[in-house]
Amino acid sequence: MIKLFVGLGNPGPEYEATRHNAGFWWIDALARDWKLHLQPERSYHGLVARTTVQGQTVWLLEPQTFMNLSGKSVGALARFFKIAPEEILVVHDELDVVPGQAKLKFGGSHAGHNGLRDIHAQLGTGDYWRLRIGIGHPGVKSEVIHWVLKKPLREQREAIDDTIVRTLHAVPALVAGEMDKATLLIHTSKPPRPKPPRREPGDGGPPAAAPG
């Protein structure tokens, strides 16, 4: 079960609308859905909200340490409330996923993401869940730092916002620990097309019109 939802980003108005803050956008949307207000908590170096969902306590966290020290915040809250790494979902921007898509995964490397790198270090493991919100890649490695700290184009931001709305539908499954169901909901960008009705043997089509 997911007990701690973490969104990664950088604090301050100058970063608020930049691609690197996609994790903050997701947590903000979840807080609105749950009618929660994130409050600064000095002990956990972040903005925090707590609620009860399906009978269990669930936390929302936005570290205010800047991206490369995100683990300081995540580790402090997780240790104090004895939340295991596998009960944590970290939502972050992902260069290798296009805007409009998201991927759910468990474990693995930090792949150079500075926020994940510090969370790995503070938790002592990479065995936590990640929700990767696609922001696309600039195409040139040397441009990555500028890319993530810039605002997305309008159509990209709209695609990211649509992804956030869609992936929030997986939250009940995430809280319940139904990770296969959550994965299906998150990875399906559009609802499946309905199958045509099954034709029974001897069914020649619709009945003829009744005589007038």
Share of the chain above pLDDT 70, in %: 89
**pLDDT for residue 210 is more than 80:** no
Torsion of CA 8, 64, 31, 87, to 10 degrees: 60
Which region among 55-64, 138-147, 151-160, 183-192 has the lowest average model confidence (pLDDT)?
183-192
DSSP calls for 70-134: HHHHHHHHHHHTT--GGGEEEEEEETTS-TT-EEEEES---TT-HHHHHHHHHHT-S-SEEEEEE
What was the pLDDT predicted at 188? Answer: 77
Q: What letter represents residue 87's amino acid?
A: E
208 pLDDT above the threshold of 70: no
Q: How far apart are CA 28 and CA 38, in angstroms?
A: 8
Q: What is the pLDDT of residue 190?
A: 58
How much is the mean pLDDT over the chain?
Answer: 90
* pLDDT tens column, 34-90: 999 999 999 999 999 999 998 999 999 999 999 999 999 999 999 999 999 999 999
Angle between helices 22-33 and 154-167 (to 10 degrees): 50
Q: Which residue ranges make up each domain of the chain?
A: 4-187
What amino acid positions are annotated as catalytic residues? 20
Rounded CA gap, 40 and 48, in Å? 6
Q: What is the pLDDT of residue 160?
A: 96
pLDDT digits (tens, 9 = 90+) for 149-169: 999 999 999 999 999 999 999
Q: Is the per-residue pLDDT at 109 higher than 80?
A: yes
Distance CA 99, CA 159 (A): 6
* CA-closest candidate to residue 44, choices 99, 6, 15: 6
Q: Which of the four pLDDT bands, split at 50, 70 and 90, describes residue 189? A: low
Span 89-96, average pLDDT: 96
pLDDT value for 26: 98
Closest-CA residue to 170 (of 104, 83, 107): 104
Asked whether the predicted pLDDT for residue 138 surpasses 80, the reply is: yes
Q: Which residue bears the tokens 């995430």?
A: 174
Strands 46-53 and 39-41: antiparallel
CATH number of this structure's domain 4-187: 3.40.50.1470
